[in-house]
Amino acid sequence: MKASNSAGLTESQAKVLKTISDFIAENGFSPTAKEISEILRITQTSVFEQLERLEKKRYITRQKGAARTIGILDQPENEMPAQKSGAVKLVKVPVIGTIAAGVPIFADENMEGEILVDESNIGKGRFFALRVRGDSMINAGINNGDLVIIRRQPLAENGDIIAALIDSDATLKRLSLSKGEVFLLPENEKYSPINVTCREDFRILGKMVTTVTVL
């Protein structure tokens, strides 16, 4: 098999990695092994073999047994999608764990991977992505398994959907500021507001700017 010039990658591995990157850039989520096999016209067995090798070489991360969980950890510069003048500008956003949309749950800030996002959809700033667990924000169109893109900022305005930390637990809720009181509001009548007015362990991690639905 002919070797690629890309740091430690064979030609086949470089093609699979580029296919994943291009697919994420176009769709906002990662491809399945079946989709990769159809794009490259190779067998799914070959795709799985290449994914295993890319994972061992720390180019990608994935959750085995679950679809559309491939994240790009690293990519050679000459394998990045070309960006023409006036074309969409893509930025890398790290995926750093799971955030609750129900009962608050600890968000582990170990990076799981990265997704490529159109900068025009999120603006300028420092961003991270968290995976939603639960259904407390479904009336805001945020479902279990979605990725939410968060702009890092310590302050937010009334009505913003924010990622907040309570003690060591992170949660996604709508911020409510009224008559000197601060509440975190769910978007599902099954859940109750959380009063954080006098809590010293409460802080805002950032404001949600968009979601990525994982199919």
- Position 116 scores a pLDDT of 81
Q: Give me the residues of the chain with pLDDT under 50, please.
A: 1-6, 78-85
Q: Does pTM top 0.85 for this prediction?
A: no
Instruction: Report all structural domains of the chain as residue ranges with CATH numbers, in order of start.
Output: 11-77 (1.10.10.10), 90-212 (2.10.109.10)
- Position 191 scores a pLDDT of 95
- Position 61 scores a pLDDT of 76
Active site residues: 136, 173
Burial per residue of 165-188, b for 16 or more beta-carbon CB atoms within 10 angstroms, e otherwise: bbeeebbbbbbbeeeeebbbbbbe
25 close to 36: Cβ distance less than 8 angstroms? no
Distances (CA, A) of 165 to 75, 104, 157, 172: 32, 9, 16, 9
pLDDT digits (tens, 9 = 90+) for 128-169: 888 888 999 999 999 888 889 999 888 899 999 999 988 877
